[in-house]
Structure 1
């Protein structure tokens, strides 16, 4: 419109070399950045939350340690020691040493007790028998201390996660945005769209080209961003105004802004018809507003309502926002418990069948 002479000046635009060939720009109102906004994640039930306190590697090390402890107990039980140490494992109720067994019966008994001690300590369950050998007592005592520390850390971490849930962002950097495969919508005529389109494929910004989409329908932009269908990129301050508008509709922050910026140091000014005498007058006004701090104060006043939306999401969770536990939070634990019952039932049936077969042979 400015180029055709239908308007004397426009609203704010990024001052680029291509645009300067068509129109004049005032002195910059401010220097802005290119950013990306996306749907703000919500606190939702996590079926596998009970395994989240530890990473996969830690769980693997715990199970490996339990297996190693069982093997050590098994070896210590089978290896003969002096008579003064006792013969193995006794009954906790009678405190009498069980009769010695031989052959496979002794091996099975030793394996059962060794695995039992390892798992019972790990799960915090009581044991109906105790070791009588000093070497076994020392080994079991060390394992008991280790499992106590593991259990304490696990319980405290789960409790902390329930009190202040950890919200994972879909992406918070350019690399994560690329990995997410989420479509990035940008106005086609903007400097940001051209920069991404013209970047080499191997560069950090160029990797976004497969996800880059031009904005087809401005009317549905807000709904698409709020529903998480697209990520929207552009100049930071217009994006902040969009976030402010979203918040005014629902009273809550609907979007978050990616921490890493796509581009920095974009001079933002008003576009004026080339050679227009208005440029000097508008430049003078902008300089006075900028030097007096009025321009900056106006911007802060406009955007103060969304300061909470720009804070880290975990920092914005108050005691009123903490989600109450629902039945879905226990689905994972119930599923694990059900699987254990099914396995125990199969073992029980197998033992009955095995006993029946032995009786038939007799």
Structure 2
């Protein structure tokens, strides 16, 4: 509390707020104190959890909560004004229309209907044409938010220990050994004058049994054939030792298949549809994109959504994937884990948009902007802005871990589905 008081005192000294008739406050005349009214500013507000959250259970209609409300409280004290909040019906930050006008809060600022918008904005060159921005209040990234991948049994898991190339080489080795041993064993019997029996079926069955570590009563009787037996037994031992060890690890500690970890993954897959946030910077970003990937993301979306916080449960249910700012993702994960004790959301490893600058928007040539910049700078240097945001996100680190960490103990008991592929192969062999 003492540190906070010191910061406020420094802000008062730094911004040099003085009482004046234009800004409101107290006037002193002949030793008497005369109260004057503060100016009442119109401020546009939008809900963007965790930065701002609407509270509508109040007599005045609605108020906001969150870090931006704390900043607004500092503004009202140090810039000496009262305010009334307004919001757009669709909670849009705003975008341009073909006739040159703008929607949402940016439209309100462009028409000079509000002094500022307390909701933070991602700065873009297009937005800078309709309003003035403060120095950055936060830096944020955009990534993909989706349903969390889960650990699942794999019917074809018994094939996963080796790559397709290795399996093909094993099959080729098996066929080659059958042909070579059959030729050598028959040749030996001819050389020694023994009865030339038909050994092909016996040789083929022995080689297959040796590969699968099964015993066999038949063995070649001559030296060359037995030498080939020794070579194949050693090769089979190495193969089966590696295979059984890797298979056990895969069945008990399997890797989680994460189909979407980048924007290209999102556009390439077809199982999970995606949406873009209406009226957002990312909607305009993809709409104006000249790259093939950006065009594909915009053209093949299944629609828009209000915002990531509002639609967090639909995203967690797997209805669609969404491109969101990472701070809102962390807040949604924090809420999810606090409510359910589990993690149902996953954030892609690769970012879609990096180092986006978030600032407060003022109407063009606002007289309050220079002093607001000084206030923000002081709060950022003191670490207060970051503290306000951190206080909104408890328990988020739990769900930032990889999905493989969801299983406690690291070992999973084998279920029936894990053996299905092996049983089917055994049945086919019978």
Which TM class, normalised by the smaller chain length?
0.7 to 0.9
The answer (yes or no) to whether the contact 1:174–1:262 under 8 Å persists in 2 is yes
Q: 1:298 deviation in Å? A: 4.2
* 1:74 and 1:111 in contact (8 A); partners too: yes
Work out the CA distance in 1 between the residues paired with 2:314 and 2:166: 39
Aligned counterparts of 1:336 and 1:254: Cα–Cα separation in 2: 35
- 1:38 positional shift: 1.0
Counterpart pick for 1:215 among 300, 304, 307? 304
Deviation at 1:211, TM superposition (A): 2.7
For residue 366 of structure 2, the aligned residue among 276, 282, 293 is 276
* Distance in 2 between residues matched to 1:44 and 1:329, nearest whole Å: 9
For 2:224, the equivalent position in structure 1 comes to: 135
Partners of 2:169 and 2:393 in 1: CA distance = 49
SS in 1 for 2:324: strand
Alignment of 1:1-362 (within 5 A): 1=44, 3=108, 5=113, 8-80=116-188, 100-102=194-196, 106=197, 109-181=198-270, 182-202=272-292, 204-216=293-305, 221-303=311-393, 305-319=395-409, 322-341=411-430
Deviations 1:155-204 (A, max 9, x none): 111121233220010211222212113322111211211111221253x4
In 2, distance between residues paired with 1:220 and 1:235?
13
**Residues in 1 aligned to 2:362 and 2:171: alpha-carbon distance in whole angstroms:** 70
Change (3 A) 1:35 1:19: same
Quote the offset at 1:207 in angstroms: 3.2
Q: Structure 2 CA distance, aligned partners of 1:300 and 1:136?
A: 74
**Unaligned 5+ residue runs, structure 1?**
88-99, 342-362
CA contact (8 A) 2:178 2:207 kept: yes
Higher RCO (C-alpha 8 Å, min separation 6): 1
Kept in 1, the 8 Å contact 2:334–2:394? The answer is no
SS of the residue aligned with 1:318?
Answer: coil
Q: Distance in 2 between matches of 1:253 and 1:335?
A: 35
Distance 1:324 1:280 in 2: 63
Q: What RMSD, in angstroms, separates the aligned Cα atoms of the two structures? A: 2.5
Provide the C-alpha distance between the structure 2 equivalents of 1:7 and 1:46, rounded to a whole number of angstroms: 59
Question: What is the CA distance between 1:322 and its match in structure 2?
Answer: 4.5
State whether residues 43 and 323 of structure 1, in contact with CA within 8 Å, keep that contact through their aligned partners in structure 2. Answer: no
Deviation for aligned residue 1:221: 2.3
String of CA shifts for 1:211-253, please: whole Å, max 9, x gaps: 3344246697223311222111022212222222222221111
Task: Give the 3-state SS of the residue equivalent to 1:199 in structure 2.
Answer: coil
Give the length in aligned residue pairs.
320
The 3-state SS of whatever aligns with 1:129 is coil
Query: What stretches of structure 2 of length at least 5 have no aligned partner?
Result: 1-43, 45-104
Q: 1:81 deviation in Å?
A: 6.7
**CA separation of 1:120 and 1:173: change in aligned 2, threshold 3 A:** same
Give the structure with the higher percent helix. 1
CA displacement at 1:310 relative to structure 2: 2.1
TM-score by length of 2: 0.68
Distance in 1, Cα, partners of 2:368 & 2:318: 43
Aligned partner of residue 346 in structure 2, secondary structure:
strand
The 10-residue stretch of structure 1 (276-285 or 155-164) with the greater mean CA deviation from structure 2: 276-285
1: CA distance between counterparts of 2:302 and 2:140?
22
